[in-house]
Chains A and B, each alone.
Chain A
């Protein structure tokens, strides 16, 4: 027996904290505290994933899983002013039976996972053997943007589908009867906030762009960078009380930004097919610039998309908004 690894104690502590935070978030009475605990949970999960040599995933979890989801939760709580309980909760007997079956499933799953040896090599050699043809130096980016680029294209499509669905939902609401809430508590207004924004927005833009660019060499990439850019988008929207700019150009510009990633990604894919390689089969010599082009446009689209998902409503013509100015969502 070798002496116990001191890191293992750290691991045990981290794992236990993660589990406690998950339970605390779900069983917490106060909705706002729940959202905050959930964000903390996501950040600690990211820490665990750094420990497990998954820095890209950790970045994505911290920026998107904790950050964006947390912002969406807080924004929704602000809108609805607390949770609404279902009129007919699950009966205790049913809940007990469900609990038992889930516990049984988890026990079997846990034991089976422990009893199963991890596959020896996974796809490590397959990726390593093809890295020189991938056009990038970072393996995760090579997988996302080249070896399994089709998955990533569809992933960007999922996000686009989400915006369309959210806008379809927005259309169902009679805005004359239920005006947009002003997001009063989080609106960034006044001279101090203005100075803060002038400082923070360029910094966020720079960090986001850096994350996208560095993705070719080390952890980072379009989704993490796009999430940081989205933070800039959300902050500048909050400076307007959580509304889109009221110009006539907003809607066409926004629609263009939302689809840019899919258009460039598909365009490059089809261009590669016409050039003779097959869909998404980049010529190795041009792979790097093509991947950077795709990443930059996907990052912009992700930023626009996440901002649109946060605001949750379509840009409206200036005349219609003016009628509703100053309204709040008291119920």
Chain B
């Protein structure tokens, strides 16, 4: 067993946990958190791909994960803004067409 197998399995497991909950959880806010968990799982796979036993990791996957984190926080911010706006719309409007 190596750190690679341990964290590789962790990454895939996190992705699966996030994916499943993003599909079934009954609240939009929760699904957003689940997508963030899944994305961390994908990040683990890339960090594993960069890792070398003797040190001296590959910088390219590191750059990709940083980009991925920034892209995801941007999307998360938009999704959360929609959650807030829906809350405001539902509290001000009596009903709307489904």
Contacts and interface: CB of A to CB of B under 8 A. Distances in A.
Q: Is the interface of B mostly helix, strand, loop or mixed?
A: helix
Interface in B43-88: 43-45, 47-52, 55-67, 69-78, 80-85, 87-88
Contact of A312 (B24, B69, B81, B89): B81
Contacts of A75: 80
B12 A109 contact: yes
A192 to B, nearest CB: 30
Contact of B40 (A12, A45, A56, A139): A45
B28 to A, nearest CB: 7
A309 B27 contact: no
B80 to A, nearest CB: 4
Contacts of B67: 144, 151-152, 155
Contacts of A49: 43, 47
Contact of B23 (A60, A98, A155): A98
A90 B84 contact: no
A182 to B, nearest CB: 14
B83 to A, nearest CB: 6
Contacts of A189: none
A73 B61 contact: no
A34 interface: yes
A64 B57 contact: no
Contacts of A90: 23-24, 26
The number of chain A residues touching the other chain, given as a range, is 35 or more
Contact of B10 (A15, A60, A89, A152): A15
B7 A64 contact: no
Contacts of B97: none
A312 B72 CA distance: 17
B26 A64 contact: no
B70 to A, nearest CB: 5
A11 B1 CA distance: 11
A141 to B, nearest CB: 9
A123 interface: yes
A235 B46 CA distance: 33
B30 A26 contact: yes
B33 A34 contact: yes
Contact of A155 (B2, B19, B20, B71): B71
A266 B23 CA distance: 38
Given A54-B47, A103-B20, A169-B82, 4 more contacts: A45-B40, A95-B23, A162-B75, A170-B85
